[in-house]
Structure 1
Amino acid sequence: MSNKIVNASQMVQVRQVGDSRLHSFFGYYNKTNYSHDDTRLLANRTPIFTGDLTGTEVAEVGYFDLTDGDRWHKLGETTAWNWQMGCQLQWLGKTGKVIFNTRASGPSGPENIYPDFRSCVVDPATGERRELPLPIYVLPPSGEFALTLNYSRFIATHRTIGYPATNTEPNLELAPEDDGIWRMDTRTGETKLVLSLRQLTEHQHVASMDKATHWITHMEVNPAGTRFLFIHRWTERPEDEFCYLHRLYTINGDGSDLRLLEDTDHPLPQLAADFDPNAHGTFDYEKSPYQISHPLWKSDDEIIVWGPHDGEIHYQIYNDRTGKVQVVGPEVLTENGHMTYGTDGRWMLSDTYPDAETDKRALFLYDTKTDTRYDLGQFYTPSDLGKHNRCDLHPRWSRDNRRVCIDSVHEGPRQLYLLEIGALLDELA
């Protein structure tokens, strides 16, 4: 092991959240589930451990009170969820309210292009609830608006993060003019299409787009709420991730000033008639030399991403204004993972996918000041859990950056765990 990789697990306390009566998880890494005072922890709870979702399975939505023995407070239920992202549950700015995706129970409104899905805002203090006309994908820190995508399109292109239809899956055009990125005001519910899939196919068009199905994923809003990033993907063979083609973009909140930061259009031998997609393991694609994945804003102008640039794949930082690209930790950050920066910009939190021999994932902190990786622990996952049902660690910072929350199955059930990292950071300060 490199002397730039340090086993710091003995300095980190790990504990499970809650009582294990139900399986608990949060989902993605790109937002914190901690309340603004770090006393409440958002989560989803379900009686099932795994399984291919049909859209009828119910998940509880609520929070654990960390000041009251992890007491569970249920805020609602939903059938619009998946194992990777949950129901996109998140705190609505600094209002103290929460927002999450739900399934429509009545007729769709005239402005709702996704008739199966909605989002719901709940005030934990009063129990007051209100429905918004579209589901959500990501919010800026202010919570003033939400960006959203077509979760039914994900079922056809990237099932892991989609929601099954209530009745019949819709027929999807390859790149329609009325589907893409929608912006919704979280106060009024007013919606606007800011970028269509058709527009993306016309932007620096390449031949591989002609017969492909197109979609957008991994949207993130910068801290100021002025620009957002996303990945445009397309493929003729949605069932095989090795056939995905990728572009990394940024754009203004109103749909102007579209910028292409990276393009991984590449040869696709996987389209050959004799290619066997079953020859690959569950996580092999996450190690593809062409994949762009898990981009996040480090600042209003900088983006951290796992992806290729100039023929090499690394953690990379892109400057959205200048286009300059800088490799991060090339000697110690050698695997794809789910990364976020702490508030001071010094520490990056991330994980790895399971090791092929041990089935364990590493959780670590990377010190940008010393170019050193500090491993916080190794967490086992069953090798047969599957692609759509897997449990990635998806590490998330507390607001004060003294704790980390992960989803894990290393002790059997699917549960949330907290890691106390304050003492380690104090020693390394």
Structure 2
Amino acid sequence: MNKLERIIHQSLEGKPALRNTLKKIYQASLSIVPTTNINEENVVVRPNCFYGFHNLCPWSKDNKYLLTHRFQTPDDRLPEKGQKIEVGVFFGENHQSYRKITETNVWNWQQGAMLQWLGGGHRLILNDWKEGRHCARVLDVSGEGVGEFATPVSAAAPDGSSFVSFCFDSLSEGLHGYGYAYRATPGRRKNLGDRLLHIDCATGEIDTLVTIGDVLKLSPRKLPAEAFHFFSHCLYSPSGKFLMFFHRWKSNTSDLGTQVVIYDFEAGRAHVLPLGEFVSHASWHTDRYAFLYAENTEGVRGYFLVDCLLDNARPMAFEGLGCDGHPQVLAQSPRAVTDTYPDRFRMQKLYVMDLERSACELLLSLKIPFRFRDAVRCDFHPRWDRSGQYISFDSAHTGVRSHCTIRVQ
């Protein structure tokens, strides 16, 4: 996004319908301009597959397996009731051999079925629909069921001892394209009592961490109680001592509002990070620092490194990278990876970042067909492998949504 585009985009805040219409016309008219992909020849493509969001890792702790969703439905339409998706793993040389594990009834193109590894072994957890409710199932890579929980999973603790959950019906209502076709409570409702839950995997015990009402009281700003509020984007810190999550709200006349909340498990309390009402995506750097794309309290947007203990947000400027993306920081490292949304020519980019030097390097640039947009867009959502040598990402540059990997030189 160049400077003029950014000015126009921000001037249309509060008018999402008009902004999205103008964006659609703008990109459609320029998508026919010839462009050249960069580094496409080094991409390993697994068609009709995708993983999902950037805040999870599809690689097992030993890097042996690569989790994936495999679909047979049209990949430019939202999933409907009755359309199951297959879950499996890639393994072997370049992770190109495939094994089916199971199927699930609930999924979407952005986050899949919240498929993720549970602890350091080869057990996985994912969401499903059973007896009129969302639930979470635990399996091993052979497909054998290991356990089941009456609440769906959002994020699992690094050691696999617990996970957190919230109301996915509220997520469906609040964030188009992120919810599920199956809903226990369809339609908008009063949801200030929605809870963020903590589930112990050994005992099944469920505890409430916070409610929407609790977070409204914690907020340093006065938020509209009449707006629709919901939780999203949960992520444990590397040690599992802290939880980052988004509290979001929207009304019929304004853009989505977001604040980032940190929950301290040892202290049993939460606090809101000192940022503006625009926060898009985040990743933990260490237990103390979060790396995210957001707006600070002065209204400046960009990447920030936030000290979650001292509540200090330090701007991070990366030459040539001035737009929103999906960052993921490599564990125990200053390296991060992020992507961009398609530009005016539908070119989508992947960057490797050095947080110590505030530097970034273009790794990949691919043209994404115009039909992959809005709720059925195909963001890269880049994810590091455990060694920092490969990056997993989803892409539709071939015309088919695919789970891809590329080696980082």
* TM-score normalised per structure 1: 0.81
Does 1:14 pair with 2:2?
Answer: no
Aligned to 1:405: 392
* 1:20-61 C-alpha deviation (Å, 9 max, x unpaired): 4xx100001112111222221100011122212223211001
Provide the rounded CA distance (Å) in 2 between the counterparts of 1:208 and 1:408.
37
1:243 Cα offset (Å) = 2.1
Residue pairs, 1:234-249, within 5 angstroms: 234-237=249-252, 242-249=254-261
Q: Which runs of 5+ in 1 are unaligned?
A: 1-7, 107-114, 266-290, 425-429
SS at match of 1:209: coil
1:217 Cα offset (Å) = 1.4
1:166 Cα offset (Å) = 4.8
1:331 Cα offset (Å) = 3.5
1:183 Cα offset (Å) = 0.7
Native 8 Å contact 2:232 2:247 kept in 1: yes
**Which residue type is aligned with residue 126 of structure 2?**
F
Aligned to 2:262: 250
Change (3 A) 1:335 1:205: closer
Residue pairs, 1:259-278, within 5 angstroms: 259-265=271-277
1:330 Cα offset (Å) = 4.5
Aligned to 1:130: 147
Native 8 Å contact 1:174 1:212 kept in 2: no
* TM-score normalised per structure 2: 0.85
Pairwise CA RMSD? 2.3
**Which residue type is aligned with residue 352 of structure 2?**
L
1:193 Cα offset (Å) = 1.5
Q: In structure 1, which of residues 181, 185, 188 is the aligned counterpart of residue 196 of structure 2?
A: 181
Change (3 A) 1:126 1:205: closer
Aligned to 1:152: 169
Percent of matched pairs sharing the same residue: 23
Native 8 Å contact 1:64 1:70 kept in 2: yes
Aligned to 1:347: 335
Change (3 A) 1:55 1:11: closer
Native 8 Å contact 2:60 2:66 kept in 1: yes
Aligned to 1:139: 156
Change (3 A) 1:125 1:146: same
Native 8 Å contact 1:405 1:418 kept in 2: yes
Aligned to 1:223: 238
Change (3 A) 1:168 1:342: closer
Provide the rounded CA distance (Å) in 2 between the counterparts of 1:300 and 1:369.
17
Residue pairs, 1:76-225, within 5 angstroms: 76-104=102-130, 106=131, 116-125=133-142, 127-166=144-183, 169=186, 172-176=189-193, 179-204=194-219, 206-225=221-240
**Which residue type is aligned with residue 28 of structure 1?**
F
Change (3 A) 1:261 1:89: same
Native 8 Å contact 2:61 2:121 kept in 1: no
Provide the rounded CA distance (Å) in 1 between the counterparts of 2:184 and 2:232.
24
1:213 Cα offset (Å) = 1.2
Native 8 Å contact 1:145 1:186 kept in 2: yes
SS at match of 1:349: strand
Q: In structure 1, which of residues 40, 52, 56 is the aligned counterpart of residue 65 of structure 2?
A: 40
Provide the rounded CA distance (Å) in 1 between the counterparts of 2:353 and 2:233.
22
Provide the rounded CA distance (Å) in 2 between the counterparts of 1:16 and 1:146.
31
Provide the rounded CA distance (Å) in 1 between the counterparts of 2:107 and 2:206.
22
Provide the rounded CA distance (Å) in 1 between the counterparts of 2:184 and 2:269.
38
1:168 Cα offset (Å) = 5.9
**Which residue type is aligned with residue 127 of structure 1?**
E
**Which residue type is aligned with residue 33 of structure 1?**
P
Provide the rounded CA distance (Å) in 2 between the counterparts of 1:403 and 1:53.
30
* 1:343-385 C-alpha deviation (Å, 9 max, x unpaired): 34221111000002x1011101012344332111112212232
1:181 Cα offset (Å) = 0.5
* 1:383-408 C-alpha deviation (Å, 9 max, x unpaired): 23231111100111111111111110
The more displaced of 245-254 and 133-142 is: 245-254
Provide the rounded CA distance (Å) in 2 between the counterparts of 1:254 and 1:370.
33
Provide the rounded CA distance (Å) in 2 between the counterparts of 1:226 and 1:303.
14
Aligned to 1:382: 369
1:160 Cα offset (Å) = 1.6
Change (3 A) 1:198 1:342: same
**Which residue type is aligned with residue 233 of structure 1?**
R
1:164 Cα offset (Å) = 2.5
Native 8 Å contact 1:12 1:376 kept in 2: no
1:146 Cα offset (Å) = 0.6
Change (3 A) 1:417 1:95: same
Aligned to 2:56: 31
Native 8 Å contact 2:324 2:341 kept in 1: yes
Aligned to 2:81: 55
Provide the rounded CA distance (Å) in 1 between the counterparts of 2:121 and 2:42.
31
Change (3 A) 1:61 1:259: same
Q: In structure 2, which of residues 397, 404, 407 is the aligned counterpart of residue 417 of structure 1?
A: 404
1:256 Cα offset (Å) = 2.6
SS at match of 2:213: helix
